[in-house]
Amino acid sequence: MQVALRQLVVPTGQQLLIRDVSWQMYEDILVELGERRGTRINYSQGMLEIMAPLPEHEDDKAIIGDLIKVILEELDIEFRSLASTTFKNQAMQQAIEADDCFYIEHEALIRGKKRIDLTIDPPPDLAIEIDLTSRTRFNNYQALGVSELWRFDGIRLQINVLQNGEYIESTISPNLGGLELGQIVPEYLERSKVLGRNATIRRFRAWLGTEINKLGKSE
């Protein structure tokens, strides 16, 4: 008896790994599950991962994404947030759905496009993964050339910068004006759980203004 993929139930906060999945099978699974699904699907060299995020996973993703947007706005840097868009490259046998992602340096190259084709378009400049229940597989992002990957495990924010094809951990974000964000982002994320989202964003914007002034004076 063959089991349809829609019959499988992935509990919230858990992941399902399936080996020996061909690229065509992966494409068929995307079609079968549809775009309105509540799961994330990643693919790497025949390995398929289906993950169902926890509610706190989504909340952390939203606040971290908001903080990034504030930084880019205050630095007057154009950007485009594509959330959990599916990025795939058949030739590389890689596909990712980040929790959130941003085009920053290469924003102008994809501006106005309704579809992103990684065979001709650049990958996102910054991707975010909230790893409360599973560990991000760096090989997907490395293979696709995502220059900066943030990984938050619920306590610690790890900023990974792509150098010579490998991720190197850093305290600063090259895509966000060279600001040291490894500690400050988790701090404001925790504040949001006490103060609320809007009050936290106001305080973060005030802190950011001071930091940008410092950077300007040191140049």
| Percentage of the residues of the chain whose pLDDT score is greater than 90 | 61
Given this model, what pLDDT does residue 168 score?
Answer: 96
Q: Is residue 44 part of a domain?
A: no
Given this model, what pLDDT does residue 1 score?
Answer: 33
Q: What are phi and psi of 177, to 5 degrees?
A: 70, 15
Q: Is residue 22 part of a domain?
A: no
Q: Is residue 32 part of a domain?
A: no
Q: Is residue 46 part of a domain?
A: no
- Tens digits of residue pLDDT in 73-128: 999 999 999 988 899 999 999 998 999 999 999 999 999 998 899 999 999 999 99
Q: What are phi and psi of 82, to 5 degrees?
A: -115, 15
pLDDT of 212 over the 80 cut: yes
Q: What is the mean pLDDT of the chain?
A: 88
Q: Is residue 105 part of a domain?
A: yes
CATH number at residue 77: 3.90.1570
Given this model, what pLDDT does residue 9 score?
Answer: 65
What is the arithmetic mean of pLDDT over 28-41? 82
Q: What is the dihedral of CA 88, 94, 95, 98, to 10 degrees?
A: -120
pLDDT of 4 over the 60 cut: no
Residue 52 contacts residue 69 (beta carbons within 8 Å): no
State how far the Cα of 161 lies from the Cα of 107, in Å rounded to an integer. 18
- In 3D, which of 83, 58, 42 has the Cα closest to residue 154? 58
Q: Is residue 62 part of a domain?
A: yes
Q: Which of 2-11, 36-45, 93-102, 148-157 has the lowest mean pLDDT?
A: 2-11
pTM confidence score: 0.86
Q: Which of 47-56, 80-89, 148-157 has the lowest mean pLDDT?
A: 47-56
Given this model, what pLDDT does residue 187 score?
Answer: 97
Q: What are phi and psi of 108, to 5 degrees?
A: -65, -30
Q: Which of 14-28, 35-49, 143-157 has the lowest mean pLDDT?
A: 35-49
Residue 173: give the domain boundaries. Answer: 54-218
Q: Which of 9-18, 29-38, 182-191 has the lowest mean pLDDT?
A: 9-18
Beta strands 148-152 and 126-130 are: parallel
Domain count within the chain: 1
State how far the Cα of 131 lies from the Cα of 204, in Å rounded to an integer. 24
- Tens digits of residue pLDDT in 66-77: 999 999 999 999
Instruction: For 27-43, give one letter per residue: b (16+ CB within 10 A) or e.
Output: eebbeebeeeeeebbbb
Q: How confident is the model at residue 16 (pLDDT cuts 50, 70, 90)?
A: confident
Q: Is residue 35 part of a domain?
A: no
Residue 201 makes CB contacts below 8 A (sequence gap 6+) with 66, 67, 70
Q: Is residue 138 part of a domain?
A: yes
The DSSP annotation for 202-215 comes to HHHHHHHHHHHHHH
